[in-house]
């Protein structure tokens, strides 16, 4: 196996571990879980979208084995999907007015990310409103379902 492929697999597994740190309940682990995107973005920007796909596949495989389909789905939607789209967009090279090669400006990539987040939030809010659910109640049910599927006990102080 090539060295770059092994690095991509390692970064994918690292991303999965950072994603699963939230289950420990430790406040420091919760803060570290926000860095779950970082190994994917580093792999994608360093080695390209193909290696990022390898890293995402490794992370998703580990999540299916360790946590089941629900953490896998959340990881795909929240971590791997945006990392793939934004990395691909950031690496697009075009010619400028002088004929020199230039990347897409970073402001365009950040704007695309903001539009994606806004779109997802509108879809989620619209779906919850159409179902007649309260957002706080939905998030509470969703987290308790994730924790129960992964075998993490929910104590009364965590349940609210």
Residue 101 has pLDDT above 90, yes or no: no
Secondary structure element (H or E) that encloses residue 56, with its range: helix 49-66
Can you give the pLDDT at residue 65? 92
Is pLDDT at 160 greater than 70 in this prediction? no
- Tell me the two tokens of residue 10: 């390692």
Residue with more model confidence, 151 or 42: 42
Task: Please determine, for residue 69, whether its predicted confidence score (pLDDT) is greater than 60.
Answer: yes
pLDDT in tens, 105-153: 889 999 999 998 899 889 888 888 888 878 787 778 877 777 776 666 6
46 pLDDT higher than 70: yes
Most confident of 20-24, 27-31, 115-119, 132-136: 115-119
Task: Kindly report each contact of residues 62-65 with a partner whose C-beta sits within 8 Å and lies 24 or more positions away, as own/partner.
Answer: 62/12, 62/13, 62/16, 63/16, 63/19, 63/20
In the structure encoding, which two tokens stand for residue 18, read together? Answer: 């950072």
| pLDDT cut 90: percent of the chain above it | 39
Query: What is the pLDDT, as a whole number, of residue 153?
Result: 63
Percentage with pLDDT > 70 across the chain:
91
Residue 35 contacts by C-beta under 8 Å, 6 or more apart in sequence? 18
How high does pLDDT run on average in the chain?
Answer: 86
């Amino acid at each position: 196996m090539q060295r770059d492929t092994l690095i991509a697999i390692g970064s994918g597994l690292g991303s999965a571990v950072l994603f699963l740190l939230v289950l420990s309940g430790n406040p420091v682990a919760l803060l570290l879980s926000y860095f779950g995107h970082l190994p994917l973005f580093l792999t994608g920007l360093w080695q390209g979208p193909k290696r990022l796909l390898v890293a995402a596949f490794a992370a998703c495989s580990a999540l299916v084995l360790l946590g089941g389909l629900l953490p896998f789905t959340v990881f795909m939607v929240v971590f791997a999907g945006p990392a793939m789209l934004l990395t691909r967009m950031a690496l697009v090279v075009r010619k400028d007015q002088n004929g020199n090669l230039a990347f897409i400006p970073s402001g365009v990539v950040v704007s695309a990310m903001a539009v994606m987040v806004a779109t997802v939030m509108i879809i989620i809010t619209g779906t919850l409103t159409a179902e007649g659910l309260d957002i706080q109640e939905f998030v509470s049910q969703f987290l308790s379902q994730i924790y129960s599927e992964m075998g993490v006990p929910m104590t009364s102080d965590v349940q609210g």
